[in-house]
Amino acid sequence: MQKPIRLGLIGCGGIVQITHARAYRAITDTVQVTALADVVPDNLEKIGDQFNVPTENRYTDYREMLENAALDVVTIATPHSLHAEQVIEAANAGVAVISEKPMATTLEEADTILEAVRRNGVPYTVVHNYIFTAGMRAAMTELDALGESHFGRSAGMGLKPADFSADHPTPAFAWRASKAKGGGCIIDTSYHEIYSVCTLMRSPVRYVEARVQTLRLDIDVDDIAMLLCEHENGAVTTVSGAWCVPGTDSGWCEMHAEHGSLRVNHRHNVANALRRFTRADGWQQLELSEFDEAEQQDASGHARYFKETFNALAAETALPVPAEKAYHNLAIIEAARKATTERRAIEIPPP
Ligand SMILES: NC(=O)c1ccc[n+]([C@@H]2O[C@H](COP(=O)([O-])OP(=O)(O)OC[C@H]3O[C@@H](n4cnc5c(N)ncnc54)[C@H](O)[C@@H]3O)[C@@H](O)[C@H]2O)c1
């Protein structure tokens, strides 16, 4: 039997405590949480105690962890402005990198990441978890039969609290609302709606028109993101994201194609996750009984994402989310910002 992959965590905050930790606990045969880094000692303790990480392997400086701990892989789950620097340091230390989204805050940073991972020959992937939920995985098996897509829509809208101060009970709001930390609605929230609907459309985006603006909240990043995208195959997609409207019908994406349509609640567990329309049958809810209990409850898709990613790393096969997908998602976001300031459609050239 192969030895478990030795995993180091850079960032042990909200998402690690809420979902990553549960995902790692389900794959202890494949992965051993070996070392941790976080600037907040309390977060080191919460995760360290859960995984019995020796105190000498808990670091407040991630560079010391990279220097001293024997690791095969690191996961990065820190504020967005830190991703590029931390991925590059990890790649230079010769470990594989699983980065939370987004890849970076700009394409310029993303290029430096790609250069570092290629130069060091380390595997690198970004967490696009919502395409691993039961609803999305079942939807993906329907796509061939439905044929060429022509129209897509997705929405992730809600109301953030007015208080973005660091002493809010959820301190992560503070960096999410900060331009310097790489926050904002489009790169934090709509990020997921963009790759989810693009996965259903199966054609890369070539032109973006958008309004990415601060309409209501007292913050220096966008609180609304409305995108109109044209795909390589001529299809059109809209993406609606907001932090400044009360929760409506949110966390879904749709794809309309030659032989029918799909509607996926990609941010939900299995109940009511997937509907399909055909002219013969109208709208029908699809039963997702092929997924086991744990998969049905994996509402964020993280458990499946990590399982497949670590299996691929162990087998040295292609990673389920290649860097190009994350790069394209960031290119759409950057184009949407530029489309807003320049009030015109922005082209995303093929790679
Ligand atoms: N894929 C998803 O569904 C999803 C959901 C939530 C968050 N995220 C992503 O996860 C990342 C973290 O988000 P979060 O909600 O956990 O934020 P958070 O603020 O709760 O956690 C961030 C952690 O990073 C730590 N940190 C800050 N600076 C550091 C440094 N220099 N070195 C080491 N650690 C440092 C903080 O102390 C904190 O514990 C972001 O990239 C976010 O977009 C993804």
Torsion from C-alpha of 244, 157, 208, 255, nearest 10 degrees: -160
In this structure, the answer to whether residues 49 and 196 fall within a common structural domain is no
Distance between CA atoms of residues 26 and 15, nearest Å: 16
**175 Cα–ligand 1 center, Å:** 9
In this structure, the answer to whether residues 248 and 154 fall within a common structural domain is yes
Q: Position 128: which residue type?
A: H
* CB 77 near ligand 1, within 6 Å: yes
CB 244 within 8 A of CB 223: yes
In this structure, the answer to whether residues 183 and 250 fall within a common structural domain is yes
Parent domain of 108: 5-126
In this structure, the answer to whether residues 106 and 161 fall within a common structural domain is no
Cβ-based neighbours of 93, under 8 Å, separated by 6 or more: 66, 67
What percent of the chain clears pLDDT 70, i.e. is strictly above it?
A: 99
Q: Per-residue pLDDT averaged across 106-133, rounded? A: 98
Q: List pLDDT tens digits, range 295-342.
A: 888 889 999 999 999 999 999 999 999 999 999 999 999 999 999 999
- pTM exceeds 0.85, yes or no: yes
Q: Is the pLDDT of residue 224 over 90?
A: yes
The ligand 1 atom at the shortest distance from the C-alpha of residue 300 is: 3
What's the mean pLDDT when you consider all of the chain?
Answer: 95
At residue 288, the pLDDT reads: 86
In this structure, the answer to whether residues 95 and 215 fall within a common structural domain is no
In this structure, the answer to whether residues 338 and 234 fall within a common structural domain is yes
- Tally of domains within the chain: 2
Domain boundary among 126, 152, 187: 126
Domain boundary among 59, 93, 126: 126
Q: List pLDDT tens digits, range 147-174.
A: 999 999 999 999 988 777 777 777 788 9
* CB 117 near ligand 1, within 6 Å: no
At residue 313, the pLDDT reads: 97
pLDDT band (50, 70, 90) for residue 96: very high
Q: What CATH number is associated with residue 272?
A: 3.30.360.10
At residue 236, the pLDDT reads: 98
Strand order through the sheet with 58-59: 58-59, 31-37, 5-10, 73-76, 96-99, 124-126
In this structure, the answer to whether residues 315 and 193 fall within a common structural domain is yes
Measured between its terminal Cα atoms, the distance across the chain in Å is 40
In this structure, the answer to whether residues 158 and 105 fall within a common structural domain is no
Q: List pLDDT tens digits, range 253-292.
A: 999 999 999 999 998 766 789 999 999 999 999 988 888 8
Residue with the nearest Cα to atom 20 of ligand 1?
A: 14
Q: Per-residue pLDDT averaged across 175-183, rounded? A: 95
Cα distances (angstroms) measured from residue 158 to each of 44, 155, 172, 291: 31, 10, 16, 29
**141 Cα–ligand 1 center, Å:** 32
At residue 1, the pLDDT reads: 61
At residue 270, the pLDDT reads: 65
In this structure, the answer to whether residues 138 and 109 fall within a common structural domain is no
What percent of the chain clears pLDDT 90, i.e. is strictly above it?
A: 87
At residue 8, the pLDDT reads: 98
pLDDT band (50, 70, 90) for residue 351: confident
Q: List pLDDT tens digits, range 4-48.
A: 999 999 999 999 999 999 999 999 999 999 999 999 999 999 999
Backbone φ and ψ of 191, nearest 5°: -45, -45
In this structure, the answer to whether residues 158 and 101 fall within a common structural domain is no
**10 Cα–ligand 1 center, Å:** 9
Cβ-based neighbours of 291, under 8 Å, separated by 6 or more: 134, 137, 138, 270
Q: Per-residue pLDDT averaged across 231-241, rounded? A: 98
